[in-house]
Amino acid sequence: MASKVFFTNARTKPGVSLLDKMDALCEASDLKGMLSKGDFAAIKLHVGEPGNLSFVAPQLVRRVVEKVKRTGAAPFLTDTNTLYSGQRNDAVKHHLSASLHGFNIETAGAPFIVGDGLTGSDYVSVPIEGGQLKEAKIASSIYNATALISIAHFKGHISAGIGGSLKNLGMGCASRAGKLVQHSDVRPVVKQENCLGCGKCIQHCPASAISFTDEKKAQIDPSACIGCGDCLAMCPVRTIRNKWAASTSALQRKMAEYAAGAVYGKAGKVLFFNVILNVSPQCDCFANNDVPIVPDIGIMASKDPVAIDFAAAEKVLAAEGAPGSAVGHMCCGADKFRELTPDSDWKVQLSHAVKMGLGTMDYEIEEILMV
Ligand code: SF4
Ligand code: SF4
């Protein structure tokens, strides 16, 4: 049976704002019906690395928070610590970054709690069945919540191809140890003839796995590398490469298995939003965001994380590449995500999530409050 995906477009008019549209999606997807008084409702989002401005607006999140509060449930905003260096790899920095972007009580209406604690070591191992992994190390605050609402910014991703609800669940709800498991197949190497010797990769590597040779060329110690992928993103001449085709598929499969772990014990109490606005070519983990790859599309809500991600991806593919963006030359129907990350087949995460029983790629769109 097809899964229902509620969709509102990005157009607005006086009297119908995006905030009104968020309210309408909450109503249509029966957010109220899945919550009870006394529930702890984790609202999983990505606060955005400082420097990035394409994250979901906290004012949109506030509309969901207010709906949750009306049910008597206690909402809290949450995300987990990153593997890579930056401004979100411990709870202190993460909290400051969240507050900088408005993910706090004042703007978003609920407290921000880092799901896996001060250093990313607070997690609960939950069993997973049907895949390669036998357990998932899920951030304890997310595990302990009785309901989970994922609000994902839908965009491209350097290794998963797309970043939507499945990624927000699988990677986003994992503790640092869980992220390490998912990244364990990522093993970058430096093509030294192109190395500028700038040292950016050394500066950012959280595992001190990179050093200079006598010729001042970067080299990676594979025994120390934790596979976070930070150096791949940092190198200005992209001379650090990975065996992407194999490793990105493995990562996506593990991510889908972790997504199953993230919803463990929450049957009937999970809801997903994909915000398809400012669709950046890369993740909000980057400290910058390039020109959106397509015009703003809208917002979706669904109980099915596979259906909503496939529906969002198909909307992006159906749109024309935005002029001046990295895919400005691409027409309607062309696969913009594959153009951005040629070695990553983003459908792997979807098909594996289907296998894991998380949902279906067969979806039916119901349009809500269209303008
Ligand atoms: S060498 Fe390994 S641990 Fe260091 S930044 Fe690169 S991927 Fe991360
Ligand atoms: S960031 Fe790239 S160019 Fe700079 S030292 Fe590292 S490998 Fe070389």
pLDDT digits (tens, 9 = 90+) for 72-88: 999 999 999 998 778 99
End-to-end CA distance of the chain: 29
Residue 320 in tokens: 């024309």
- Alpha helix stretches (DSSP H) within the chain: 18-28, 58-70, 91-100, 105-108, 140-144, 165-170, 176-183, 200-204, 230-234, 244-262, 305-318, 336-340, 347-355
Residue 54 in tokens: 């394409």
Residue 137 bridge partners (DSSP): 125
CA distances from 154 to 77, 157, 292 (A): 18, 9, 11
% of the chain exceeding 90 in pLDDT:
83
Eight-state DSSP code of residue 132: S
Q: Is the pLDDT of residue 230 over 80?
A: no
Mean pLDDT of the chain: 94
% of the chain exceeding 70 in pLDDT:
99
Q: Could you tell me if 239 and 190 are in contact, meaning their C-beta atoms sit under 8 angstroms apart?
A: yes
User: Dihedrals φ, ψ of 85, to 5°?
Assistant: -70, 160
pLDDT band of residue 184 (cuts 50, 70, 90) is confident
User: What is the rounded average pLDDT of the residues 206-229?
Assistant: 90
Q: Is the pLDDT of residue 244 over 60?
A: no
Q: Is the pLDDT of residue 172 over 90?
A: yes
Supply the pLDDT for residue 269.
98
Q: Which pLDDT tens digit goes with each residue over 305-325?
A: 999 999 999 999 999 999 999
Supply the pLDDT for residue 41.
98
Taking the CA of 204 as reference, the closest ligand is: 1
Supply the pLDDT for residue 133.
92
Distance, in Å, from the CA atom of 252 to the CA atom of 145, rounded to the nearest integer, reads 25
User: What is the rounded average pLDDT of the residues 189-210?
Assistant: 93
How many alpha carbons fall within 13 Å on the CB side of residue 175? 21
Distance, in Å, from the CA atom of 90 to the CA atom of 153, rounded to the nearest integer, reads 22
Which ligand 1 atom is at minimum distance from the Cα of 201? 5
Which ligand 2 atom is at minimum distance from the Cα of 231? 1
Distance, in Å, from the CA atom of 103 to the CA atom of 193, rounded to the nearest integer, reads 44
| Contact residues of ligand 1, CB 6 A cut-off | 188, 205-207, 209-210, 220, 225-231
11-38 as b/e: b if 16+ CB within 10 A: eeeeeeebeebbbbbbebbebeebbeee
Q: Which domains does the chain have, with CATH numbers?
A: 3-184+245-367 (3.40.50), 189-241 (3.30.70.20)
CA 97–ligand 2 middle distance (angstroms)? 27
CA 226–ligand 1 middle distance (angstroms)? 6
What DSSP assignment string belongs to 102-125? T-SHHHHSS-EEETTTTTS--EEE
Q: Which pLDDT tens digit goes with each residue over 147-169?
A: 999 999 999 998 899 999 999 99
Convert 213-256 into a string of H (helix), E (strand) and C (coil). Answer: CCCCCEEECCCCCCCCCHHHHHCCCCCEECCHHHHHHHHHHHHH
Supply the pLDDT for residue 225.
87
CA 318–ligand 1 middle distance (angstroms)? 35
ipTM greater than 0.95, yes or no? yes
Q: Is the model more confident about 316 or about 89?
A: 316
Please compute Rg for the chain using Cα positions: 20
Supply the pLDDT for residue 330.
95
Supply the pLDDT for residue 246.
60
Q: Which pLDDT tens digit goes with each residue over 245-288?
A: 568 899 999 999 999 999 999 999 999 999 999 999 999 999 99
CA 196–ligand 2 middle distance (angstroms)? 6
Q: Which pLDDT tens digit goes with each residue over 62-74?
A: 999 999 999 999 9
Distance, in Å, from the CA atom of 144 to the CA atom of 181, rounded to the nearest integer, reads 21
